Structure 1
Amino acid sequence: MVDLATITAGFGDAFTPFNLMFVLFGVLLGQFVGAVPGIGPIMAMAIAIPFTFGLDPLPAIAFLVGVNKGGLVGGAVPAILMNTPGTPDAAATALDGHPLAKRGKPLKATKMALFSSVTGDLFSDIVLITVSAPLAIMALKMGPIEVVALMIFAFSILAGLIGNSLIKGMIAAALGLLVASVGQDPEHYTPRLIFGYWDLFDGLPLPSVAIGMLAISEILRRMSLAHGNVKSGIITDGSNRPEDRRVSWAEYWACRYTMLRGATIGTILGALPGIGSTAAAFMSYAMTKAGSKDPSSFGKGNLQGIAASESANSAVVGANLIPLLTLGIPGSVGAALIISAFMIHGMQPGPLLFEQQGRLVYGLFGAMLMANFVNLWVGQLGLRFWTKVVSAPESIIFSAALLLCIVGVSMATSGLFGVAIMLIFAIVGYLMSTFGYSLVIFIIAFFLGPRFEKSIAQSLALTNGDLTQMFKSPVAVALLVLSVVSFVYFMRKNAEAEAIDSKT
């Protein structure tokens, strides 16, 4: 058990001007690379790790944490302003953020994303500091059978996003699962659907698919509507009303339950290795939409939708460190990079870390809290700059965004093959959106597919092919019951919304 003197000494080490400088630099870099579509904070962390070798452990790791936290805030900016997610987990933010920006309220939308992100991040950090060990033990007990049930529950949440056409929603989900099966078989590691292209052996790269379908396809759609007319990337109403440029306390407080739900979802999923912030964002958004008294307002600029997705995906950052610090198991790619930084500085994350390096661990906790407030301050200044940038003509905005997407994806996938995949899925995304098929459902199914298939293979191996043994696990049974309840509930909500739309 860590004593109080160690805790206070750790926090005292964190709150110094020297550490503040590295946290500030990390947040600035994170917000910048998050705002550039296709690059993201993970790549910045990977590049920065070798340069932290000459630093003391605390400022080095605090810098990487700042990059990770700043990247999530930055990723929401192009998602809201141009419907071009800077990171895959910002795709859910674009569903309501971009329509609100098109209504002449880009600052309100980006500020709501910033406040929700910091709120969710702070919530998960507090949970990490207070109950990290019990949550990590609970997460460790989630075996393949329980993870299969959790994945089924996640897929049942898709029903909340299907919209008015059940058939089209199910087709989009099936296509996402089909595309996710490209690459090696998780059980026997034999290639599937690669058609001789060994670059596909590890599957289709997520940045290429997500950026292509969500960003490039939107650029193509907007360019097709231009008809030779040059206009600003974001059309504002020009009123300059104060209420359209800020988020009032009443508006923020009205979203408190939404942010609490999103932060809770993000914290729980973040404590489970491999689930990720993208799944948390879409799950929170779907549950918020289904529980709303006016679900038809979602997708049209509802602040609740922005708050739901941003609070959830940011909460994952702190929660990812729960299994890392207590069990030595990274919960995400970002957490795995932080493990590399620990090992570079001669530390091994795991159960003995609190006993052997307790002062450093609590110094890291202090740096994480400091990074949240730096994120809020830097974001307040940076948002005004980004909203001015997208007031430039569409011809400049879209050409720049297209160039950044190509450069970012080529760097993320280590070559032009990823760019080719991105362009192919840009056309697929354009056609799907033209014919009314949900890109969001496709992306969620594609993202969850490999994890779902791997968990099924592991469960079949453990149970000798008898999946009925799932019903012997109380956790799995509870998740399956929740899956049925949520599917029925969401489908009933969608049917009611469809009936209302048909009457109007």
Structure 2
Amino acid sequence: MFAALESALSLALAWENLVGVVAGVVLGVSFGALPGVTGYGGIALGLPFTFFMPTVPAMAFLLGIYKGGMFGGAISAITFGVPGEPSSAPTVFDGFPLAKKGKPYTALNTALYSSIAGNLLADLAVIFTFAPMGVLSLKFGPRELFALMFVCLATLVIFMEGRIIKAIIGTMIGFFLATIGPDPIMNYPRLGFGIPELEAGIGLTPFVVGLFALSEMLIQFSESLAARGKGWQLETTEDLRQLIRDPSPSDRFSVRDWFTTTWRETLLGSGVGIFLGALPGPGGTMSAFTAYALAGRLSKNRGRMGTGIPEGVAAPEAADSATVGPSLIPLFAFGIPGSATAGLFMGAFMLQGIAPGPGLFTDYMDIMLAIFMIMLAGTVANLVISKVVMIPVFARLGLIDARILIPVLMPLMILGMYAIDNRPFDVLIMVGAGLLGLLLQRLEISLAPTVVAYIIGPMLEKHFRRGLILSGGSVTYWFASPIALGLYIVGIVASVLLLRRKKT
């Protein structure tokens, strides 16, 4: 064992591996900050290059992209109100209003420190509890995953501020949109309305970016024009300076400020991300929304959530980043990719001639230990690069007037949507989702239940129908599992308590 540790340490500290992880972090943060490209897209683009690399540098490069992409999505979410990743959508709720108050440094530093903390805690959890977490992930079959999705959806709707009726309306809209596309079991096209492009369904990224980003841009642009007139002149440097806001004098946020202000929300988000990340299916988006909703009820400043407070940034960012390491556990332990990103890592291992699964830790012990060490190195690289380079640049960009910024961002969003699958139809989906988001905001219907239902809906249906097939239609099947039964009880009790709390 000590020989394997020594070999792994020498592998992890090799210059080519350190260069690989740093290059990956730089690309990951950059890809994540571009709306529509996402960290997943960055990994997909980087995967072919790993064919020419040795195993450890290849994994270091991809892990760097993965870790950097998680924080990169928060940069555009905070700076422009445009989530670079679907999992960064909850960060918009408080991060963007905080930046609009003239505190972009506070918002970005909160996101960075929480992301790093979630990443670090998850890495340590993977290293020290790898075997138990792997066994836990196998305990979740169709009925357990259905119970988990059902409980998360029910509690998330109740957690949302505002009227329950409007939250339910938003949820129903999300469910309906989720049914468009192929049947999750038989793969038959549904609700295509005679449009061939709809037979593949509505893509998550164009839907989320349109619903949150495009609708917010339209609102910002109209408000900016109404407040400052329909035209403006840029004849002098003073005219240009007036279109760039000055940061607030109090826009300072040290590590000490972050810890004293948001340590509860960071730990909460990290715990949610580690647990949900280890399970096949939920992923970073569901983890981030769940953590934000929980923080909205458990935080000491819960009444101010959504108005621009650091606590509302810390919880979803910690949860999102905490899913990175645990999401690879089913792949490493059993050769089962629990997410689309894990599937790309499976492909990377295959390109190296390595079959993921139990044999990884018997045949490639030194390589796997080196990968765990590189995960920690990637977290440190993410902190340094984002703190020194990314935050100072993007914090200033966020202070530019919407009338200048939005015409620049719109072409980037369109290019990003097209680049996902080279489908012009994704751009139309983004526009349609943007108009829907604008309508929902005018009707004062929260966007969060719509997105959550859209994400959870297909998983609910898939696990429900799989359970029906396995059980032959038996009702008792759904309650025979102690895990599923416990989840139902927790969900019912939490829902009742929260409803009573809302009434009081």
Counterpart of 1:323 in structure 2 is 330
Q: Are 1:259 and 2:257 an aligned pair?
A: no
Q: CA, structure 1 residues 238+473, in 2 after alignment: closer, same or farther (shift >3 Å)?
A: closer
Deviation at 1:236, TM superposition (A): 4.9
- In the TM superposition, what are the counterparts of 1:171-210 in structure 2 within 5 Å? 171-210=169-208
AA aligned to 1:240 is P
Q: Are 1:240 and 2:238 an aligned pair?
A: no
Deviation at 1:18, TM superposition (A): 2.1
Moved more, 195-204 or 403-412: 195-204
Number of aligned positions between the proteins = 492
AA aligned to 2:366 is R
Counterpart of 2:373 in structure 1 is 366
Q: CA, structure 1 residues 407+464, in 2 after alignment: closer, same or farther (shift >3 Å)?
A: same
State the distance in 1 between where 2:196 and 2:88 align. Answer: 30
AA aligned to 2:305 is F
Output the TM-score relative to the length of structure 1. Answer: 0.94
1:471 is aligned, of 475, 479, 498, to: 479
Quote the RMSD (CA, aligned, Å). 1.7
Deviation at 1:346, TM superposition (A): 0.6
Deviation at 1:306, TM superposition (A): 1.0
State the distance in 1 between where 2:434 and 2:118 align. Answer: 32
The secondary structure found in structure 2 opposite 1:317 is: coil
Moved more, 210-219 or 487-496: 487-496
AA aligned to 2:170 is A
AA aligned to 2:346 is I
Moved more, 5-14 or 45-54: 5-14
1:398 is aligned, of 376, 401, 406, to: 406
State the distance in 1 between where 2:110 and 2:246 align. Answer: 19
State the distance in 2 between where 1:175 and 1:166 align. Answer: 14
Q: CA, structure 1 residues 483+233, in 2 after alignment: closer, same or farther (shift >3 Å)?
A: farther
Deviation at 1:17, TM superposition (A): 2.4
Q: Is the 8 A contact 1:234 1:390 kept in 2?
A: no
State the distance in 2 between where 1:481 and 1:172 align. Answer: 25
2:426 is aligned, of 403, 418, 424, to: 418
Deviation at 1:91, TM superposition (A): 0.7
State the distance in 2 between where 1:238 and 1:130 align. Answer: 43
The secondary structure found in structure 2 opposite 1:466 is: coil
Counterpart of 1:109 in structure 2 is 107
Counterpart of 1:333 in structure 2 is 340
State the distance in 2 between where 1:32 and 1:492 align. Answer: 45
Report Cα offsets for 1:125-154 as digits up to 9, x if no partner.
111111112211111121101111101111
Counterpart of 1:502 in structure 2 is none
Q: Are 1:270 and 2:268 an aligned pair?
A: no
Deviation at 1:188, TM superposition (A): 2.9
1:137 is aligned, of 135, 138, 141, to: 135
Counterpart of 1:8 in structure 2 is 6
State the distance in 2 between where 1:212 and 1:474 align. Answer: 40
Counterpart of 2:457 in structure 1 is 449
State the distance in 2 between where 1:229 and 1:93 align. Answer: 32
State the distance in 1 between where 2:248 and 2:109 align. Answer: 18
Q: Is the 8 A contact 2:245 2:401 kept in 1?
A: no
Q: Which runs of 5+ in 1 are unaligned?
A: 497-504
Q: Which runs of 5+ in 2 are unaligned?
A: 233-239
State the distance in 2 between where 1:288 and 1:166 align. Answer: 18
The secondary structure found in structure 1 opposite 2:249 is: coil
AA aligned to 1:17 is W
State the distance in 2 between where 1:302 and 1:139 align. Answer: 34
Counterpart of 2:312 in structure 1 is 305
Output the TM-score relative to the length of structure 2. Answer: 0.94
State the distance in 2 between where 1:364 and 1:383 align. Answer: 28
Report Cα offsets for 1:386-431 as digits up to 9, x if no partner.
1122333423311121111111111113210111111111111111
